[in-house]
Structure 1
Amino acid sequence: MNDYKRILITAALPYANGPVHIGHLAGCYLPADIYARYQRAQKRDVVFVGGSDEHGVPITIRAMKEGITPQQVVDKYHALIKESMEQMHISFDIYSRTSNEVHHKTSQDFFLNLYNKGLFEEKESEQYYDEKAKTFLADRYIVGTCPVCANPNAYGDQCEKCGSSLSPEQLINPRSALSDAVPVKRTTKHWYFPLQQYEGWLKEWIIEGHKEWKNNVYGQCKSWIDSGLQSRAMTRDSNWGIRVPLPDADGKVLYVWFDAPIGYISATKELTDKWADYWCKADTKLVHFIGKDNIVFHCIIFPSMLKAHGDFVLPDNVPANEFLNIEGEKVSTSRNWAVWVHEYVQDFPGCEDVLRYVLCSNAPENKDNDFTWKDFQDRNNNELASIFGNFVNRTFVLMHKLCGGKVPKLHEDVYDERDIQVVADIKAAKEKVESFIEQYKFRDALFEVIDLARKGNKYMQEKEPWIVAKSLAANPDAQKLIDNCLHLCLQLTANLAILINPFLPGTAKKMLHMMKVVEKMLEWHNAGSTKLLSVGYTLRAPELLFRKIEDAEIASQIEKLKSGLVKTVEVTGGKKDDSGNQTAVQTTADKKATIVYDDFAKMDLRVGKIVAAEKVEKADKLLKLSVDLGFETRTIVSGIAQHFKPEEITGKQVVVVANLAPRKMRGIESNGMILMAEDGNGKLHFVNPEENINAGAGVN
């Protein structure tokens, strides 16, 4: 660390084609923020950059699904992602976007640098072309039957049903996702970067030079290099992206994984005129925080590009995390099996630090880990509230009760071995936390902070100042013993604020307010000291740092997760209607198992009329409906609030599953289910009779 004058920290650029979920936070944004906050506390020269990746096929696919332009997609989701990062206290020095002009110019200049050196290989190859849409097709724009599992809507690069990696040539009956036409092969020219020429250098730089990298990163890099590298196309045929800056490159853009990591450079340019100090001087420490799916791009391709360019520093470390599953299943954005950050901050206002704590303490640093709502509750209630928060609260309550609300004096004449030990614990905690953070072991570092609070609770329990207070009249040393205990507990509390700040900045800020001290106290050199709070200094009354999370809240989140789960209906294989809108194709994977008539006969389907509708408080997706079934009016909670306003649907006829067992949603008992249909754009439609029918009429 002493060899570097400055630290440049990057976090992977998320695709601006949807919101961010907790897997994104756990994978790279939270670890990067912890590291940046710690380095700032060390008073080091730190820059932390990020931004939205706004090019590539995922953007255009999202635009197609939503029926809007790619620019509208990136504008919408860049704003949402940026807000989510700010709400979770991810402290970027700049959060930029790759649609900015400075990024386009920086990427094109980088490409021209390599081109003018003659480093690219120009190759012609046959690629799939849509004669109706008059465009070349990226692999993701080709769908067909999977040769492995027979899913009729597998993509040209992967089958999302069985997970097999594919190429368009392997698909049975391939078709264009744009027009449903059968694609044909046409010749096209692209510029390839010869990765194989950098194999020797990569072996020396990574295999021999970075054995300290995490096992998952080092192992994946070694496997790629040992398997032999091949030339990789750095351009694509597309109308969305950064134009290839050559005269004979009409309709061609830079490959998204060529321009995306250059986004770190362009973001730094936006931030400071001294950007070259961070990117071009050898005494800069560059650290990339990413998820494991981005290892090859950040450890093989981008470093080779930087090496070829010649003007930039190389990453010192790439501490990639594994994946975070949810309730035992892999995150699936297409099935809505995710905990979305923007929804979490609405459902748990003021609890941003709780999520940061849970995601760090359960971080997938070395293997895939699982997030469950029950574990979320347990960690909050049993660790944050009962250990950390409880110690701070008890210290402040007893200080006000037994020491007049002021920091008491330390009396050396009654100083004992237990006092000496707690001072040693404070100093040791600083050293352990510092060591673990420098090694990118954030989970272990956070454990040490909580363990120091645990030791503080044990120390206070052994000293029992509330019991000693009962002997004040008889024991001349009683007040001194109380003073010593609470003096050291207050100093330990001040240390907890410093140590917890990289992890839970909102909590540290609350503690500073209670102690009536400025943020300067959070500088790392203060940690380990037992002279942070001056004797006689008046402190504020305690405020609870963490509230208990109730069972009903957890049940509601589990219900929300399950009720939001959707079957994937592939838009990409659809045809277009007369107005040019994409329509859905029912896939084999969407069809349910065959049933017999007796199974169907068990369902009591009835026509109902919505007589009243209102939004459910603190639930973006739910509407509370009053539905007249003729013989009674039912309360039904339905997840349609993002598709319909209450006033739009009052008076509508609907088909209701009338004999569905009741269940509680957000504390409201729902008695039935409204039948809905979903089109290829994800829009819901009522399933209702063409003509008015008496409420309560049966549907057969």
Structure 2
Amino acid sequence: MPHLLTSALPYANGPLHLGHLAGAYLPADIYARYLRLMGKDVLWVCGSDEHGAAITLRAKKEGIDPKQIIDKYHELNKHSFAALGISFDYYHRTSEPLHHETSQDFFRKLDQKGGEFIIRSTEQYYDPEFGQFLADRYIKGICPKCGFAEAYGDQCENCGSDLSPTELIDPVSVLSGAKPILRETKHWYFDLARHEEFLRTWIQEGTIDGEPQHDPRQWKKHVIGQCMSWLNEGLQPRAITRDLDWGISVPHPDAEGKVLYVWFDAPIGYISSTKQWCLENGRDWKDYWQNPDTELVHFIGKDNIVFHCLIFPAMLRAHGDYVLPKNVPANQFLNFEGDKFSKSRGWGIELHEYIEEFDAFPNGEDALRWALIRNLPEQSDADFTWDGFTEYYDKDLADKLGNFFNRVTVLTHKFFDGAVPALAEAGAGAQVQSKIREATASIGSHIEAFRFKDAASAFVELASYGNTYLQDAAPWSLAKLDPEDPRIGTILFNCNQIAAALALLAHPFVPLVSAKLRTVLKQEVADNGDWAKTRDLLEAGKPLLEPGHLIGTAGVLFPKIVDRKDDTLQNLIQRQRDKLTAALERRDGATTLTAPPATPQPLERPAEKAEVSFDDFTKLDLRTATIVSAEAVKKSNKLLHLTIDLGGERRSVVSGIAKHFDPATLIGQPVVVVTNLAPRKMAGVLSEAMILMAEDADEKLQFVAPPAGFGNGWTVR
């Protein structure tokens, strides 16, 4: 069964930022790498979208040819993707002749079928000074809905409203600054409305002509919701041509001087990219696009849902020879430190900037991937912060993964000269192997369901399990009593099996780290089919590393950012924070704000704490959770040791509520927790989160909690 994956073609009119990476490219890379490890036939295509008004507008502003713009940013973005491990099978360009040919053939086929296009003469704004019709982005004016003075002819970037040029108040041409005039012009429209019934059934029920095509229960709710909103309002014809001098010429004798509208030709770029790859690899592109067994998945951001779930499927259906997507797992938006990415305000960091500035950061490419994966905007908008980046790197990669590998390799060399020992007795590794098998299956099932954050959490759980197992088994203590104790070998055999699993399972998330871990274990870099082979070994009860296999030493794989002895990495992160402070000062013309004194409150209520900024508040990660175990902390009459379920991850929490609650009554209690506080030990027990409580005048505590059954791991705002 062929698996055809696409990611939204990025515009080649500027560099990409972290939000782009988290939306359509990193999730697809995780999915593609996993499918390859499962031995599937995978083709993942993408490329630069090199037409459209935004590119010509930038070229006109800079006084250069559009080709200079697209050449520059095609290479820049392609290099950035490669540097961050984004493993496209082919990265094409819509300026290539093959794409022009494919798009024009597609237009001709729809035109020849009849009924798919409507030709209309309409009045469109025209710049008399430049002597050309104005595309939507060539017109600015006052937004009729919010009053923003810099709204474009297609959208107001202040309130987000979709607009048409004639709705703008006091429109002006961005080319000359002159007031445009209305002039009649003729355009081709795709009659989207005639496909409305098919689209409604296909979206809601997942069927075409009664035949199942996909399972709508597997689609994200916000994807189906947005589609149904458009369908319920009634679909309208969409213009597919434009009066521009840059783009793909419309192949029609009555369309001289017109080009295909970029939204029409851009998704066809997936087809032309596939064709080019097949030409270079001796394959037939129809095996992917016209094979009913093909699993087609579009990876996009939520701003592209309508195009990929309604318009492009209608185009493919109208053509008649193409498969439709099985899923469109669109992500929501990623913000940056509490605000939208903005190049003009200096807010955010672009991919090429990160690559340059973090060149000396250990495993810097994968550190970024990991921080984004742990906070992907899968179901709702998310926020990237440097504090979060630091925590995910230090806590997950350094404290859990790196620490485990370092200890296992050191101990294996200390006690067995670097050779994986044998089990002391048959069956002694069954429990550990079962845990590895469960984790492997869990991570795989989450990835297949496009739940990449849950998959990453399951990966961290396995690393945590390895650390806990090693710490509890304490082979060093056994060796002090009896260096020949056979249990030492069993423990390190099991630990090496966990390490081998982690090294492979890391590959979809952090491929460069995975390669390093596999090298430490003296294994080849993970390759096609290795996940399936690992699964088969585990199910057959066979080891991932045979006794006698020689391993290397890991050393410090992930030097910590927050390090009392070396602040090199912390200073690098601080420089990024300093840039944001400077950006705020430029925007607001202000320096550091001093919080006002606390306002006096009535005696029966505690005084309010000092004011904090909204940005400070948004740094707190508040999540829903459920208490799954509770016990008293030894040698303390105040503390309880709780375990909480965060929906894919469990954490240890120490809470000073022992005088208020019987541990036995807390199992199943829903809670709200702060998840991104730095872990610390209390009475010798590690606490990885803080539970929110309310306290009345009698110092009686109550949980601040969502309703029972609300679900775990959801953000509290």
Compared CA separation, residues 489 and 97, structure 1 to 2 (3 A):
same
Q: Distance in 2 between matches of 1:208 and 1:537?
A: 53
Q: Distance in 1 between matches of 2:342 and 2:473?
A: 51
Question: What is the CA distance between 1:12 and its match in structure 2?
Answer: 0.5
**Counterpart residue type for residue 554 of structure 1:** I
Q: Distance in 1 between matches of 2:270 and 2:558?
A: 36
Q: Secondary structure at the match of 1:412?
A: coil
Question: What is the CA distance between 1:174 and its match in structure 2?
Answer: 1.3
Compared CA separation, residues 561 and 101, structure 1 to 2 (3 A):
farther
Matched, 1:306 2:302: no
Do the aligned partners of 1:336 and 1:566 also contact (CA within 8 Å) in 2? Answer: no
Q: Distance in 1 between matches of 2:460 and 2:71?
A: 40
Question: What is the CA distance between 1:19 and its match in structure 2?
Answer: 0.7
Q: Mapping of 1:668-683 within 5 angstroms? A: none
Compared CA separation, residues 592 and 409, structure 1 to 2 (3 A):
closer
Compared CA separation, residues 515 and 253, structure 1 to 2 (3 A):
same
Matched, 1:470 2:475: no
Residue matched to 2:577: 558
Residue matched to 1:207: 204
Matched, 1:453 2:472: no
For residue 187 of structure 2, the aligned residue among 187, 190, 200 is 190
Q: Distance in 2 between matches of 1:300 and 1:541?
A: 53
Question: What is the CA distance between 1:129 and its match in structure 2?
Answer: 0.6
Q: Distance in 2 between matches of 1:453 and 1:129?
A: 63
Q: Distance in 2 between matches of 1:155 and 1:329?
A: 21
Q: Secondary structure at the match of 1:265?
A: helix
Residue matched to 1:666: none
Q: Mapping of 1:462-611 within 5 angstroms? A: 462-472=472-482, 478=485, 480-519=486-525, 523-528=530-535, 529=538, 531-549=543-561, 550-563=569-582
For residue 159 of structure 1, the aligned residue among 152, 156, 159 is 156
**Counterpart residue type for residue 108 of structure 1:** Q
Q: Mapping of 1:75-94 within 5 angstroms? A: 75-94=71-90
Do the aligned partners of 2:39 and 2:532 also contact (CA within 8 Å) in 1? Answer: no
Q: Distance in 1 between matches of 2:447 and 2:472?
A: 31
Compared CA separation, residues 309 and 562, structure 1 to 2 (3 A):
farther
For residue 410 of structure 1, the aligned residue among 414, 423, 427 is 423
Question: What is the CA distance between 1:525 and its match in structure 2?
Answer: 1.9
Q: Distance in 2 between matches of 1:393 and 1:532?
A: 19
Do the aligned partners of 1:515 and 1:540 also contact (CA within 8 Å) in 2? Answer: yes
Deviations 1:163-209 (CA, angstroms, capped at 9, x unpaired):
44433223222111111111111111111111110011011111111
Q: Distance in 2 between matches of 1:241 and 1:324?
A: 31
Deviations 1:485-529 (CA, angstroms, capped at 9, x unpaired):
111111111111121111111011111211112236771123353
Do the aligned partners of 1:514 and 1:543 also contact (CA within 8 Å) in 2? Answer: no
Compared CA separation, residues 520 and 181, structure 1 to 2 (3 A):
closer
**Counterpart residue type for residue 292 of structure 2:** A
Question: What is the CA distance between 1:146 and its match in structure 2?
Answer: 3.2
Residue matched to 2:712: none
**Counterpart residue type for residue 474 of structure 2:** E
Q: Distance in 2 between matches of 1:221 and 1:243?
A: 31
Matched, 1:33 2:29: yes
Matched, 1:285 2:295: yes
Question: What is the CA distance between 1:150 and its match in structure 2?
Answer: 4.0
For residue 216 of structure 1, the aligned residue among 192, 211, 222 is 222
Q: Secondary structure at the match of 2:216?
A: coil
Residue matched to 2:135: 138
Deviations 1:133-158 (CA, angstroms, capped at 9, x unpaired):
11111121111233445443332223
Deviations 1:16-73 (CA, angstroms, capped at 9, x unpaired):
0111111011101001011111111111111010100001111112223333221110
Question: What is the CA distance between 1:223 and its match in structure 2?
Answer: 1.0
Compared CA separation, residues 566 and 334, structure 1 to 2 (3 A):
farther
**Counterpart residue type for residue 44 of structure 2:** F
Compared CA separation, residues 151 and 591, structure 1 to 2 (3 A):
farther
Do the aligned partners of 1:128 and 1:137 also contact (CA within 8 Å) in 2? Answer: yes
**Counterpart residue type for residue 21 of structure 1:** H
Do the aligned partners of 1:325 and 1:369 also contact (CA within 8 Å) in 2? Answer: yes
Question: What is the CA distance between 1:562 and its match in structure 2?
Answer: 4.1
The normalised TM-score by structure 2 is: 0.76
Question: What is the CA distance between 1:564 and its match in structure 2?
Answer: 5.2
Deviations 1:82-116 (CA, angstroms, capped at 9, x unpaired):
00000011001111110000000000000000011
Deviations 1:592-612 (CA, angstroms, capped at 9, x unpaired):
89xxxxxxxxxxxxxxxxxxx
Deviations 1:405-459 (CA, angstroms, capped at 9, x unpaired):
111111117x65xx43322110100111111111111110111111001001000
Percent of aligned positions that are identical: 52
Matched, 1:371 2:384: yes
Matched, 1:247 2:253: yes
Q: Mapping of 1:621-700 within 5 angstroms? A: none
Do the aligned partners of 2:515 and 2:526 also contact (CA within 8 Å) in 1? Answer: no
Question: What is the CA distance between 1:274 and its match in structure 2?
Answer: 1.1
Question: What is the CA distance between 1:391 and its match in structure 2?
Answer: 0.7
Q: Secondary structure at the match of 2:520?
A: helix
Residue matched to 2:401: 388
Residue matched to 2:70: 74
Q: Distance in 2 between matches of 1:292 and 1:189?
A: 31
- Long gaps (5+) in structure 2: 207-214, 562-568, 591-717
Q: Distance in 1 between matches of 2:287 and 2:450?
A: 24
Q: Secondary structure at the match of 2:9?
A: coil
Do the aligned partners of 1:335 and 1:566 also contact (CA within 8 Å) in 2? Answer: no
The normalised TM-score by structure 1 is: 0.78
Do the aligned partners of 1:526 and 1:532 also contact (CA within 8 Å) in 2? Answer: no
Q: Distance in 2 between matches of 1:163 and 1:512?
A: 47
Q: Distance in 2 between matches of 1:378 and 1:520?
A: 27
Compared CA separation, residues 218 and 151, structure 1 to 2 (3 A):
closer
**Counterpart residue type for residue 194 of structure 1:** D
Do the aligned partners of 2:37 and 2:526 also contact (CA within 8 Å) in 1? Answer: no
Matched, 1:360 2:373: yes
Residue matched to 1:424: 434
**Counterpart residue type for residue 326 of structure 1:** F
Residue matched to 2:453: 443
Question: What is the CA distance between 1:162 and its match in structure 2?
Answer: 4.2
Q: Secondary structure at the match of 1:425?
A: helix
Q: Secondary structure at the match of 1:304?
A: helix
Do the aligned partners of 2:419 and 2:550 also contact (CA within 8 Å) in 1? Answer: yes
Compared CA separation, residues 93 and 72, structure 1 to 2 (3 A):
same
Question: What is the CA distance between 1:565 and its match in structure 2?
Answer: 6.8
Q: Distance in 2 between matches of 1:566 and 1:36?
A: 42
For residue 17 of structure 1, the aligned residue among 2, 13, 16 is 13
Q: Distance in 1 between matches of 2:526 and 2:153?
A: 55
Q: Distance in 2 between matches of 1:181 and 1:388?
A: 61
- Identify the range of structure 1 (540-549 vs 219-228) with the bigger mean alpha-carbon deviation: 540-549
Question: What is the CA distance between 1:120 and its match in structure 2?
Answer: 0.8
Q: Secondary structure at the match of 2:5?
A: strand
Deviations 1:287-337 (CA, angstroms, capped at 9, x unpaired):
000000000000000000000001111111100000001001112234332
Q: Distance in 2 between matches of 1:591 and 1:436?
A: 43
- Aligned pairs, number: 560
Q: Distance in 2 between matches of 1:543 and 1:267?
A: 43
Question: What is the CA distance between 1:251 and its match in structure 2?
Answer: 1.6
Q: Distance in 2 between matches of 1:38 and 1:439?
A: 12
